[in-house]
Amino acid sequence: MCGACGGGVGDPFGQRVAGPRVRDAIARYLQGLPGAPGIRPFVGGWTISSRTGGAEVFTRVDRLVERLAPRLRIDHDRLLERVLVVAREAGRDTYPVMSVSSFRSEPDATPAP
């Protein structure tokens, strides 16, 4: 298993934070908050680095937020809500929507009236 799928049984947010692009966006968002420790995504979740070189591993986003909220002095529910918004935005398709006509290689051959 590559870990791109959602979390295991009992993970209420697993599908919403699945995939490397989404986990990376969450890590970048959290690490950008004032007072945040080093946060890195990996295939199955995130790690939080300590100043002494240790690391904590989190495979569920709710547990990650639970650990960070007091340290960042942000309400747990508010932080989790914001993280899920970041996840939703990161999971969106980034390709522009194009109409069929934009793929035509030749001008329209319809005669002018």
Contact of 72 with 79, CB cutoff 8 Å? yes
Q: What is the mean pLDDT of residues 50-68?
A: 93
Q: Is the pLDDT of residue 1 over 90?
A: no
Q: What is the DSSP letter of 5?
A: S
DSSP state of 16: G
pLDDT category, 80, cuts 50, 70, 90?
very high
Q: What's the pLDDT at 61?
A: 94
Cα pseudo-dihedral 21, 34, 74, 84, rounded to 10:
-10
| pLDDT grade for 28, boundaries at 50, 70 and 90 | very high
Residue that has been written with the tokens 């194009």 in this structure: 98
The CA distance from 75 to 95, in Å, is 34
Q: And the tokens for 2?
A: 């590559």
For residue 11, name the pLDDT band (cuts at 50, 70, 90). confident
User: What is the pLDDT, as a whole number, of residue 98?
Assistant: 44
What is the model's pTM? 0.74
What does the pLDDT look like over 30-58, one tens digit per residue?
999 999 999 999 988 999 998 888 999 99
Torsions phi, psi of 46, nearest 5? Answer: -140, 155
